[in-house]
A = this chain, B = another copy of it.
């Protein structure tokens, strides 16, 4: 007898559903950015770094901001550094830290990315509606930064 898996509401899995949408949207944004040579994740990293250029973040800080593991940030920065789009500078006071900055070439690349990104962004909001998109982002940010079940469910 195989365990008879009853009709399971797995179609209602919040995680799988979110991932499906994330994959699809990423494909479309990636396609839009393709002429620039950057992928959506790379653009997101560089935009975040550029935004903070007055106080260049460490890899750890970048990881927090991007909701990525520190090791993932390290991995993701590699091709960007290899291509000369970002630079890493050791902190003078704390030699463990490395601050990330966008290079001149990186800024030029971002200038190329911007209109492509804006186009994808517009097409998405034409589809979903600007108001709905804003609400969606608010929910996503809440999920990304505020959801941590451990705090309430570690008693047993």
Chain A residues in the interface with B (C-beta under 8 A): 2-3, 5, 8, 10-26, 28-29, 40-41, 44, 47, 50-51, 66-68, 104, 107-108, 110-111, 114, 117, 119-121, 123-128, 132-134, 136-137, 139-149, 152-153
Q: Chain A binding site: helix, strand, loop or mixed by DSSP?
A: helix
Q: B20 and A26: CB pair below 8 A? A: no
Q: B14 and A141: CB pair below 8 A? A: no
What is the count of identical protomers in the complex? 2
With a cutoff of 8 Å between Cβ atoms, the chain B residues found around residue A120 in the complex are: 15, 149
Name, among A2, A28, A68, the residue most crowded by chain B CB atoms within 10 Å (CB to CB): A2
With A107-B2, A108-B3, A111-B5 already in contact, the answer to whether A66 and B20 are too (CB < 8 A) is yes
Minimal beta-carbon separation of A63 from chain B (angstroms): 11
Q: A124 and B14: CB pair below 8 A? A: yes
Which residue of chain B lies nearest to A47 when distances are taken between CB atoms in the complex? B10
With a cutoff of 8 Å between Cβ atoms, the chain B residues found around residue A66 in the complex are: 20
- Cα A142 to Cα B18 with chains together (Å): 11
